[in-house]
Amino acid sequence: MKLLHKDIEKDNAGQVTLMPEEAEDMWHTYNLLQVGDSLRASTIRKVQTESTTGSVGSSRVRTTLTLCVETIDFDSQACQLRVKGTNLEENQYVKMGAYHTIELELNRKFTLAKKSWDSIVLDRIEQACDATQKADVAAVVMQEGLANVVLVTPAMTLLRAKVEVTIPRKRRGSCTQHEKALERFYEAVMQAILRHINFDVVKCILVASPGFVKDQFITYLYKEAVRQDNKILLENRPKFMLVHSSSGHKYSLKEILSDPTVTSRLSDTKAAGEVKALEDFYKMLQHEPDRAFYGVAHVEKAADALAIDTLLISDKLFRHQDVPTRSRYVRLVDNVRDNGGNVRIFSSLHVSGELQGIIGHFDYF
């Protein structure tokens, strides 16, 4: 994300102009937008025209509109963001008050105006525009006949490919069918890796499985890379890291990221830090339950008593449409930070944030 202009007054009202540069920036934008905001962006509008002969035709024209945001729709897999609202500034194509839907596009700027910019939203902008936070990780979580290729970005866990191949059992006296099916499976996984992983960005590729599936796959991968003279795989061989997992399903990713050897390898990524913080909470809840709390009321009392060391909170709470409720969570975060505590805001599209959605709002100090 690129910050092009920022104009925020002392009363926290104002506007910023941003340009999303990659798919994940749409997720950050989704977290910035709220109902009632003003969004100005370029969009396509279908316009009807009438010729001198009376015939009516239609054409699509590009125009710039300013909408009062009413509906926000985010597609997490395609990373597409659509915003629907009423037009605030009349132009030659769209009347005042008319409804329109803007689909925000990569490398096309937009201006967002708010009546009040709180600290959470400003931190989100700083995070999105910080190039040092792009230390991404990829993972291939597999078992015989099933593999999930996942991208772990600083804010999201995205499933990019799912490979499923039926593997027949070994028969007494003949393993031919079994071995051929395994080879087809490994080939499909290798192609998924080449198609969906950008080796210029990804620092580490975790290959995880129960048993020896991961070892057999890596042996096949390197053998094929040499045979095909695939320079991409050969040059990035040090990035592959073998890890044990209990299954080949996506939910095993949390278990993988909790592995101490993985944590040390990924120490510079936001993903590993969040998973470690969650693991620390579990340990404290088990061994020192008097020091671990969850639930808004209890955590707010602790914040008032200046007792919070680390606060874990989901970004879902900051998308709440009720302004007083959202302000309550913002005040809690500001209070903890002002008194020297650490705050970790978990993404609801991250493997750690997905877990939070199951167990409730998670706060730890």
How far, in Å, CA of 360 to CA of 296, rounded?
A: 11
Domain range list for the chain:
2-129, 136-266, 271-359
Q: Which residues pair with 47 in a beta bridge?
A: 59
pTM of the model: 0.61
pLDDT at 4 over 60: yes
Rounded (5°) CA angle 350-354-360: 135
pLDDT, tens digit (0-9, with 9 covering 90-100), for 95-111: 899 999 999 988 999 99
How far, in Å, CA of 162 to CA of 188, rounded?
A: 10
CATH superfamily of the 136-266 domain? eRF1 domain 2 (3.30.420.60)
3-state secondary structure of 27: helix
Q: Which residues of 9-24 are buried (b: 16+ CB within 10 A; e: fewer)?
A: eeeeebbbbbbbeeeb
The pLDDT of 147-164, averaged and rounded, is 85
Amino acid at site 271: A
CA atoms within 13 A on the CB side of 102: 31
How far, in Å, CA of 121 to CA of 345, rounded?
A: 12
- What does the DSSP 8-state code read for residue 168? P
Class of domain 2-129: mainly beta
pLDDT, tens digit (0-9, with 9 covering 90-100), for 212-228: 999 999 999 999 999 99
* Domain 271-359: assigned CATH number: 3.30.1330.30
How many Å is the maximal CA-CA distance in the chain? 84
How much is the pLDDT for 111? 96
CB 112 within 8 A of CB 104: no
How much is the pLDDT for 261? 79
pLDDT, tens digit (0-9, with 9 covering 90-100), for 176-195: 888 899 999 999 999 999 99
How far, in Å, CA of 158 to CA of 152, rounded?
A: 7
pLDDT at 272 over 70: no
